[in-house]
Structure 1
């Protein structure tokens, strides 16, 4: 199984595609204008404390105030506020967290007015980007993620990923991390830390502590609404979370991104540095890897399932609905139950891919084809959970209900990605009407005669729809040969599928359009 990351730089940002065995499984667009990314830490100002919601609205510079609930303050918020005040005081040198005395935890069932007041400055981290009409969602339980671990300031606990099942390995990691852990930093050990040497873990820990200390230094001059600690780019964060032995290629067409990714790979996994490549081909990078075509076929309302069948995907404000249909598969199996099971199992794989691809979140309801046998229903439930295992977002899959519906909840921290797959017909420009197509060849011949004889143009080229290209070029005595005999000039005819059947362009040798008249 191969994993490839392809990064395309555009004028507005960069497009990031993750391919698994050449098949697109994740697609991200990193907009240059997007300021508020999950993981960013801001110095916010409390705009409003709402007792009824037990929450506060924080100004971090977004057009709508961000939302901070009491339960998202975290038990150590008093320590955070006290430390922030010390760090922003210009008289003292920046405080060291290792020498800081941790304040008592806040009451789990307390009121937000006991902790925050209007216009108070507070350090907050974005846990959900602005979605739809809502502003960002915030937390005061700060964390900084690295390759092998996550550090949590104002804590002293060490936790290990549940995916590391080997008890001996868990003990080894616990012993190693406890021996190198700085005071007043909690550590969450990530799954990829399994089997790593203490030198790798120590290097990652020092990098994270440095990020924290740089942010603390910045607070001395920081003003409200200013970013204090920034999350790394989307491409680098994907590499941090997913880079493993199966990764065999990272390709980009941009020199800056190439240098950034190579530098980051050198930091987190020096042995993988060679897999970063700079693309220099003539064709566009997404065209070369077949991604553009996949984007057009995978983001429509209707999505085909390999082997027959199709999905209908509907989006509403409250939830997402996916309907599974058998299509031409209905005659391929012996009986209805077998057909339903075959299509449903194929659909489960495609649905898991679609959830990652579109980054769909919230509640997803799937209407699978009805099955009667309980064993088949259990098999489908098991298959769905297996296919979802590679998803980095938190999710819950429920068994099929009595009505044959499956419910999935999936964490959403960014707006859902949606790509328009509808195109305007180039012939009618969306109107549904075109001028009489029988006249187009006469119009081309009249305009050509005017350009050659009245405007005295040389080296004329004509860009045409493929059908018209065939009409003027096919045969021994084609229309183009007759033009040569008539005007003693060879006309170059270019096939252009982006033009409508009634559209044409006259061009110079350099490709500039010739104005007629």
Structure 2
């Protein structure tokens, strides 16, 4: 399996693409609004009754924070953007601030040293734990070593942990003063370095055109994707599954399984999140378990957190997906 990372632009927009054996598997685009991961020093305004939260004053505009028990108007606090804003709404933020890099996640409010569960080798886990103890000695903050540490050099891991520790300490102490942006969210190129493992990284301008990414992006602008039609609305993303000209008894199950296996990739590449409603092709109820199993398997490997809510009374399947990506339709 060959993994290539392409760092390029779509017009003036920074973009990154991940190709696996020449096929587009992931696409990151930059947006005009606040990037997820940005950390602000913000000031609490008046709580919004009935909305379960409070608006915060920040230099780039208002932010919205839920779970405000004990928060006083005028209080200054550190918050982190955890989702892209919906059109016309303030970005949602959390007080659980994380400092995330290629190998390490520093957690100021969650002490303890942890190793990714994906790393199974006990000898390697012991080595990584030693690195963690050395790098975090004297700090009360927590640390998670990511699965990418499995193939990394020990010195690179230690340097990454120390950099995140220093950043976390400096930001955590910067709680006084006017509202300010303390840490910018990562753009597509930085996110690609942080999240994707690759055999080759290509940075030459025009690499999207040379490697066929532009043609795949053109196809993503169409609603039809195999047996699926994917159409975003203001309220949710509607996915309709059709059997086409296949009238065999198993046509519905066949189309639905294909949709279940490919839906995560399509949503990922199109940058779609929020509520997802899938209208599967007609099939016996006994086949629902196989379709749901295929969905779970596909979304388990997807980097964007997605909750499989389940079947509705009318036979639709609902999902709720974090809004972390810039929709492709907003860029093109």
TM-score, normalised via structure 1 length: 0.57
Task: Indicate the larger mover: 3-12 or 131-140.
Answer: 3-12
Structure 1 residues 121 and 399: CA distance shift in structure 2, 3 A? closer
1:412-453: CA deviation from partner (whole Å, max 9, x where unpaired):
2345332688xxxxxxxxxxxxxxxxxxxxxxxxxxxxxxxx
Aligned match of 1:93: none
Task: Indicate the larger mover: 160-169 or 125-134.
Answer: 160-169
Structure 1 residues 420 and 208: CA distance shift in structure 2, 3 A? closer
- Kept in 1, the 8 Å contact 2:115–2:145? The answer is yes
1:128-166: CA deviation from partner (whole Å, max 9, x where unpaired):
232211111112222101222211225422334344456
Structure having the higher helix fraction is 1
Aligned match of 2:82: 127
2:253 is aligned, of 341, 351, 354, to 341
Could you tell me how far 1:401 is from its partner in structure 2?
Answer: 5.7
Rg comparison, structure with higher value: 1
Could you tell me how far 1:237 is from its partner in structure 2?
Answer: 1.7
- Kept in 1, the 8 Å contact 2:35–2:186? The answer is no
1:90-111: CA deviation from partner (whole Å, max 9, x where unpaired):
xxxxxxxxxxxxxxxxxxxxx3
Aligned match of 1:302: 224
Does 2:322 align with 1:411? yes
Q: Distance in 2 between matches of 1:420 and 1:39?
A: 20
How many residue pairs get aligned? The number is 331
Unaligned runs of 5+ in 1: 72-110, 253-277, 422-517
Pairing 1:481-492 to 2, within 5 Å after superposition = none
Q: Distance in 1 between matches of 2:124 and 2:243?
A: 47
Higher relative contact order (CA 8 A, sep 6+): 2
Pairing 1:61-72 to 2, within 5 Å after superposition = 61-63=59-61, 65-70=62-67
Q: Distance in 2 between matches of 1:42 and 1:387?
A: 34
Structure 1 residues 416 and 10: CA distance shift in structure 2, 3 A? closer
- Kept in 2, the 8 Å contact 1:180–1:202? The answer is yes
Could you tell me how far 1:199 is from its partner in structure 2?
Answer: 3.5
Pairing 1:363-374 to 2, within 5 Å after superposition = 363-372=275-284, 374=286
Structure 1 residues 9 and 320: CA distance shift in structure 2, 3 A? closer
Task: Indicate the larger mover: 187-196 or 132-141.
Answer: 187-196
2:72 is aligned, of 116, 121, 142, to 116
Pairing 1:75-94 to 2, within 5 Å after superposition = none
Aligned match of 2:37: 39
1:174-225: CA deviation from partner (whole Å, max 9, x where unpaired):
45524542321111232223475653432221111232355468x49x8523
Does 2:139 align with 1:142? no
Structure having the higher strand fraction is 2
Aligned match of 1:204: 160
- Kept in 2, the 8 Å contact 1:344–1:380? The answer is yes
Aligned match of 1:230: 184
Unaligned runs of 5+ in 2: none
- Kept in 1, the 8 Å contact 2:57–2:63? The answer is yes
Aligned match of 1:396: 307
Could you tell me how far 1:43 is from its partner in structure 2?
Answer: 1.9
Q: Distance in 1 between matches of 2:331 and 2:131?
A: 50
- Kept in 1, the 8 Å contact 2:171–2:182? The answer is yes
Aligned match of 2:208: 286
Q: Distance in 2 between matches of 1:235 and 1:209?
A: 22
Aligned match of 1:5: 5
Could you tell me how far 1:226 is from its partner in structure 2?
Answer: 2.2
* RMSD (Å) for aligned C-alpha atoms: 3.0
